[in-house]
Structures are given as C-alpha cells and as structure tokens.
Structure 1
C-alpha cells in the first residue's frame, strides 16, 4: 500500500508552489495530448515519463520521440517510483491514481479536453507555465496561430463540404475542436447532413448516396485490417471518386490540439487546394 512516507522514501517532492514556484525537475505526463505539448516546451531532462500512448504510431503525434522516454500505464506505483515533482493529468486519467497522488501530496495539475482553438492555446500556455517555460509556451502559441492563419482560404474562394472519415466510419461532429479547424480551413462540415449532432459514425451507404466535396480519410492499418478499417478501403468509395476528392487525414490528428494543430491546419489546407485544382 502506498503511503505518504513511502512516497517520500521514493524521493517524491511534495511542494507544488504557485506563481514563482521552483521549476519542476521531474515531470510525468499521463495523457497523450499533454505529452505532445510537454515535449515541445520542456527541457528533455525535465521529462521523467510520458503516457504509454506516446509510443503508439497510430494515435500518438510523437511516436518516434516518445519511444525515447520512459512511459507509465497510469498506475500510482509507477508514477511514485519515478519521483516526480509534477504530474500532468487529464480529467479522464485514472481516478485511482489521481486520488493516490493527492493522498501522498505529489503535485499534480489537471487539464480538461479543449473544445475549441482558444481553449487549446490556453492549455499550451498552462503546460508551459507548469513546466517553468512560459516563453516557450508563448512561442509555440504564436506558431500555432500562424499555421492556422496560413491555412485559411483566400477571400472569395468557395467553401467545400468535407467529412472526416475514420475507422468504422467515425466522423467529427459540429462543436468540436476538429470541426472548428475545418471551418477555419475553408470547409463546411458535412457531418450534419448525415444526421450527426455529436461525434459518431456515418454509414457507408449514406456517404455513397450523398458524398461531400472532400473526404478527409484515415489510413487503414497495414497487414490484415479489421472490419472497422475496411470501410476506408471499400470498393464503393471508388464509384464516387469523380464526385468526391479523397485526402489523407491520419487518425492521430483527431485526438489532440496544441502543436498537433499545426499539422492539422497544413493537411486541411492541402486537401482544400488539391480538391479545387482537381475541379479545374
């Protein structure tokens, strides 16, 4: 059983501080979206561990970089053994681990899932501040803002309908961070015309019967894809290729904001440009 004494014996630092607190020297992230921000703003030596998701090439935005760090599976025992002086957690991180860390006095910062671009940028700044690197956070926010601005369509360019289409027909509905990125990149989210009021699945039959201008499609897993993946390579999609431009949009771009928005903006702008060029 973990106790405050065992945490201290393992070398956990209990003082959190606030404004003017000491820069943390051992940070553990329990969430993949916090992972990607942390590796952009913290010194490498500050990062004691990332989440195990950081090594998943299909969902992580830092798989190659993430493989060079220790990882945890969110257990309190793993975290305490790393002797952190700061833990970054999401509201859906393991409640048992969060409770254990609070009991032991191990400093933790809790983050919500950003619902829009401004929320995401604030989160970047908050992670950078927590890591004691506010200037890097400000610089990263500026880079993200520039990437989003650069992806915006020129005045007068027609807006195209688009659907994000991932494994099992998973699509992003209005009111999400990805939906806002679609709008900023000059798209109209077609999810509503398929009846989606929240993120969910669009049946292939509906998509074929009424295709959007652009399909921002995920990639099927290599090897023997699951039935859920086969929707991405279904022959019926080829029958509407003359009406619908298909563009690559990796699934990993669906999950996180922060610096991930730089690539999201770039890929959406590229898809829009290519679709318009294909129209002649």
Structure 2
C-alpha cells in the first residue's frame, strides 16, 4: 500500500507540473521573459545578450571566473546545478541546454512541455557565429546578436596576419602530456591568429597524447599553455621547468591562454585569438 501511494504522489506531481503557467513554453518568435540556462556556454551568451530581469537562472559554472569569461556579470543571478527540480521551481518560458546537459533533465522538461533549446559546442569560427545568432534569435534579441558578431569579427580581423607569408608553428600543450590537434575550437583559434598548429600537422585530432620528447624535437615557435584557474600560473611555470623543456624555452615564445576564453564558442574567443596573435608577432619580430 505505501508503494502504491508513492506512485500516486509522483503521478500527481507530474500532472501539476504540466498545468503550471510556464509549462507550455514560449512560442517561436516571442521574447521569453524567464530564461534558465543549464550550460556554461549558453550561460555566457545569455549574460552577454539579455537584460538581467529576464534571466531566471544560470548554471553555477557561469558565475565561476575560472571557467566563465563574463562571471562578473553573474552577481546576484540565481544559480543552478542542472537539476530538473530546480527548473520546475523557476517556471521558465525558455530553457537553454548543451548537448552534454543531463539527458534525464532535458527529457523530463520536454515531457512536461517546457521549451528546451540545445546547443552543440562549436568546433570552428563559422559555428561560433552561428551559435551566437541562434541564441540571440531564440532570446528575441537578433539585433544584439548581430552586433556581437560584428564586434567579434572586428577583433578577429585585427588579430589576423597582414599577408599570406609563412605561419609560425605552435603547439597547445597541457601538463598531462596532451596536445590539441585538428577539429577543436582551440585549433581554429590558433589558425585564426596566423599560427600553424603543429599537432594537427602531425595528424593528431582533438586532445591527443604528445610526449615531451616529441614536443622538444618538433621545436614549435610558440608553446601555448592553458590557464586552468587560480593555480594556473604556477602550473604553467612548473611545466616549463621540466628538464625536457628547459632548453626549448630559450628559443620558444610562450603564450598562456585562460581556459575561460576558449572553452566555449562565444565572443570571448576573439580575445584568445588576439593573445595568440601577439605571440605570433613577437616571433616574427625576432625573426625579422
């Protein structure tokens, strides 16, 4: 008998949720008034594009400066951990999620007839523009999205090399012996900065193992390290102090890119490209 009562309670809860005013979601073309974002990347675009009063919640990662380039704008905005019950309490008319958001959460929200828009992580520059445009459209702020894309493109043009000469080589290298190869957003940023991704030229795809020995032999012009938060400068220094890299440091430029700048495909990616372009210019000046 207790088990039967529990089943009835769960069923009743689901029915009540379906009857909530926001359950039907916002129709296409409307300007949603209560937006919940469950994903770090959609968090940042919401914070860039939307008035605070229309943001019901963002994920806890969107407010963390280690991962979010616009964490400062998140102060005072409620945070969530991607759980369905958190969303139901907020009763949004639009939910933004990523393709890695909990499948159970997304499925339940859709069963309850909430409007859920999922975004896949972009892997190249055109996909970044498309994602900004898509999010701006569903938020009902298309003009703001186009303005953001124009600003993004202006910064990319400023970072691009002036001519079609030889590109200095670069490797994105992490402390656990991983290099970033072809097919990743970071690879696209390296190319946009006028550098040649040596790991991609070696045939590596995505994050792939690359031994220190191979790195030293490859002798990239620029060594790119990712900043992973508060301890990142010490992490980067520790990596550079490895005996296998000491003599490489003498003839290699080092660029440190905060993880928050290129984890997601938003306008902040242009800042990562600008930092890499400065390293390229330093190499070209020395070789000039």
Residue in 1 aligned with 2:16? 5
Match of 1:163 among 168, 171, 176: 171
Q: TM-score if structure 1 supplies the norm length?
A: 0.89
Structure 2 residue 141 is matched with structure 1 residue 133:
yes
Q: Which runs of 5+ in 2 are unaligned?
A: 1-9
CA-CA distance at 1:254 after TM superposition: 3.4
CA-CA distance at 1:70 after TM superposition: 1.3
Structure 2 residue 116 is matched with structure 1 residue 113:
no
CA-CA distance at 1:26 after TM superposition: 0.7
Mapping for residues 164-179 of structure 1, pairs under 5 Å: 164-179=172-187
CA-CA distance at 1:15 after TM superposition: 3.4
Residue in 1 aligned with 2:4? none
Residue in 1 aligned with 2:274? 266
- Mapped to 2, the partners of 1:276 and 1:59 lie a distance apart of 31
Q: Is the 8 A contact 1:32 1:60 kept in 2?
A: yes
Match of 1:204 among 209, 212, 216: 212
Larger radius of gyration: 2
Q: Which runs of 5+ in 1 are unaligned?
A: none
Summarize deviations over 1:78-102 as a string: whole Å, max 9, x none. 1111111100011111000001101
Q: Is the 8 A contact 1:91 1:111 kept in 2?
A: yes
SS at match of 1:168: coil
- Mapped to 1, the partners of 2:254 and 2:232 lie a distance apart of 22
- Mapped to 2, the partners of 1:26 and 1:231 lie a distance apart of 45
Q: 1:139 to 1:234 in 2, by over 3 A?
A: same
Residue in 2 aligned with 1:147? 155
Q: 1:89 to 1:239 in 2, by over 3 A?
A: same
SS at match of 1:276: helix
- Mapped to 1, the partners of 2:113 and 2:49 lie a distance apart of 25
- Mapped to 1, the partners of 2:43 and 2:225 lie a distance apart of 25
Summarize deviations over 1:223-256 as a string: whole Å, max 9, x none. 6999999435535433211221111212223311
Structure 2 residue 26 is matched with structure 1 residue 16:
yes
CA-CA distance at 1:221 after TM superposition: 5.3
Q: 1:266 to 1:206 in 2, by over 3 A?
A: same
Does 174-183 or 124-133 show the bigger shift?
174-183
SS at match of 1:127: helix
SS at match of 2:105: helix
Q: 1:214 to 1:227 in 2, by over 3 A?
A: closer
Q: TM-score if structure 2 supplies the norm length?
A: 0.87
What is the RMSD computed on CA atoms of the aligned residues? 2.5
Match of 1:41 among 45, 49, 54: 49
- Mapped to 2, the partners of 1:41 and 1:159 lie a distance apart of 35
Q: Count residues with an aligned counterpart.
A: 277
Structure 2 residue 199 is matched with structure 1 residue 191:
yes
Does 176-185 or 218-227 show the bigger shift?
218-227
Q: 1:260 to 1:233 in 2, by over 3 A?
A: farther
Q: 1:228 to 1:155 in 2, by over 3 A?
A: closer
- Mapped to 1, the partners of 2:234 and 2:275 lie a distance apart of 26
